[in-house]
Amino acid sequence: MTDETKSLRDVRLEKLAKLRELGVDSYPVETKRTHRAVEVVDGYDELEGVDVAAAGRLSAVRGHGKAVFADLTDETGKVQLYFKKDNLGDDFELLELLDLGDFVNAGGTVFKTKTGEVTIEVKWFKILAKGLRTPPVVKTREAGDGTVETFDEFADPEKRYRRRYVDMLVNPASKKRIADRARMTAAIRRFMDERGFIEIETPILQPLYGGANARPFTTYHNELETDLYLRIADELYLKRLLVAGFEKVYEIGKDFRNEAIDRTHYPEHTLLEWYEAYATYEDCITMSEELIAGLAEEFHGTTKIEYQGRPLDLTPPWRRAEVVPTINDATGLDVFDCSEDDLRKAIEKLGGETQESWTRYKLIDELLDLVVKDEAWDPMFVTGHPAELSPLAKRSPGDPRIVERFELFIAGTELANSFSEQNDPLAQREALEAQAEARAAGDEEAQTVDEDFLTALEYGMPPAGGIGVGLDRLAMILTDAPNIREVLAFPQLREKK
RNA sequence: GAGCCGUUAGCUCAGUCGGUAGAGCAACUGCCUUUUAAGCAGUGGGUCGCUGGUUCGAUUCCAGCACGGCUCACCA
């Protein structure tokens, strides 16, 4: 804490002490509240002349000698309070001991000022909670055309993220994003539930991690005396539920990947996964179009939205691009019938870089990025990945070199990944053992062999379509957030030393 | 991990071609009983991110470090 903070804080501590001397409890238990702020404003026609009581924070104070105007802000918005010495007598002096940010309970008669603002003429008030810190004072002015000009916005990203409660307190847009995200999650659950899916929670602490290629967080359970991993995907457990006899399951939860943070990546990210028996990845295409287009309609009233100043058309059906033909067209190669050297040259020609250790399939993956993903803005399904890139997917009946899979790209980032799920226990074992080999050869992100999962498959898993959808990124698109941190309530920053 | 940029009052920002800093809002004092970025008058508040170097003198120049932002790499 700096000295300056202390001095502002000291002033408030002194006021708190004075209140105590006067016998005022600055943190009382009881609140009397009949209306929320915006209910008073919107209900003016019925409430004119009626006594109401509101509670909230003092967000502005405008003194006029023997009268004071103040804004009282609660979760709904703000209502103006009018304190008059004539009405309040000695209590009027207590206003001196209130500060911006204090929680206050006030009751009185609803009226409209000369300038037409709905206001409560206060007859009584009491402090509900004294604040010791001065909140940043952000002021706004509404122009005639409805645009809002903001002064001294609390804008430093570091300060905003480190004290997110202050950010959300003084920046309505920050708070709205978080609330919109919650609405989005609720809408998704409704969407899934309406279609007969049930949400089942699967383990976050896992003895083995799988279902994706990523480095995990490791932890230790004292009583079991064993290392455990924080899950990197829900996939393998949700598929066990298909074995168990559930036909439509989903889960919304956090996955943990021990990786760097950037604009679209965060180590604990929220994923929606669903699995539907007797469906294929084609069904997942339809359903993801319906889900996301429906959310756009719900949030924006249209599927033609804007993201970061650029039009984004979410109207289904969405474009599709097949991996192999697209790469072949762009490079003039046949990716299944050319040398690794050709692939490397093609990558360099497209402005990419390669690493010595990369396998053929990693090279193809890189080409995929360069050729397909970078141009994807409006939604695009990238389908038909080489089988070696997708150990948990079923091979395409028409071409065993590729799988029944899509990745969905929107606004330049991957939003979903889906396959017709591999349910052949022997083929699955083979694919996972190939992963384990790659792992032994140094690929830290290759998957491991989960014997219990393979055993489950041997009991029989129905054919199924499955998908994982990145909900942080979906929230970014729906709330026009430039950075993943904006859709997280409390993003992590490096500790200040 | 790399490159570029940033860090000055509670908040938003100026500024010092090197002589220990300013504004608005917030705070404090006074005036003001329909204001709303209320107004008017006045006051206080800063080891200029940290540590070193150069210098008579560093917040300013240089280096290192910390934290952050953007871009790239990695990745969903």
Span A201-235, pLDDT tens digits: 999 999 998 888 888 999 999 999 999 999 999 99
Q: Measured in angstroms, what separates residue A135's CA from nucleotide B22's C1'?
A: 23
Asked whether the beta carbons of A428 and A456 are under 8 A apart, the reply is no
Q: Could you say which nucleotides of strand B lie within 7 A of any protein CB atom?
A: 1, 6, 9-13, 24-29, 31-39, 44-47, 66-76
Q: Measured in angstroms, what separates residue A267's CA from nucleotide B62's C1'?
A: 38
Domains and CATH numbers, chain A: 3-129 (2.40.50.140), 138-170 (no CATH), 172-487 (3.30.930.10)
Confidence of residue A8 (pLDDT cuts 50, 70, 90): confident
Q: Measured in angstroms, what separates residue A160's CA from nucleotide B53's C1'?
A: 35
A54-76 pLDDT per residue, tens = 999 999 999 999 999 999 999 99
Q: What angle do CA A132, A134, A140 make, to 5 degrees?
A: 145
Nearest nucleotide to the CA of A10, by C1', is: B27
A150-174 pLDDT per residue, tens = 888 898 999 999 999 999 999 999 9
Nearest nucleotide to the CA of A86, by C1', is: B33
Nearest nucleotide to the CA of A159, by C1', is: B68
Q: Measured in angstroms, what separates residue A157's CA from nucleotide B76's C1'?
A: 24
| Distance (Å, whole) CA A386 – CA A408 | 16
DSSP single-letter state for residue A268: E
Nearest nucleotide to the CA of A153, by C1', is: B12
Write out the E strands in A278-329.
304-307, 310-313, 319-322
Q: Measured in angstroms, what separates residue A345's CA from nucleotide B4's C1'?
A: 30
Task: Name the residue closest to the C1' of B13 by its CA.
Answer: A152
ipTM: 0.90
The CA-atom distances, in angstroms, between A491 and each of A42, A106, A160, A261, A475 are 36, 35, 10, 10, 15
Asked whether the beta carbons of A211 and A392 are under 8 A apart, the reply is yes
A348-382 pLDDT per residue, tens = 777 777 777 677 777 888 888 777 766 678 999 99
Residue whose C-alpha is closest to residue A120's, from A190, A64, A171, A48: A48
Nearest nucleotide to the CA of A155, by C1', is: B12
Sign of the torsion formed by the C-alpha atoms of A35, A38, A41 and A42: negative
Q: Measured in angstroms, what separates residue A7's CA from nucleotide B54's C1'?
A: 37
A336 vs A418, higher pLDDT:
A418
Asked whether the beta carbons of A174 and A138 are under 8 A apart, the reply is no
- Mean pLDDT across A23-46: 97
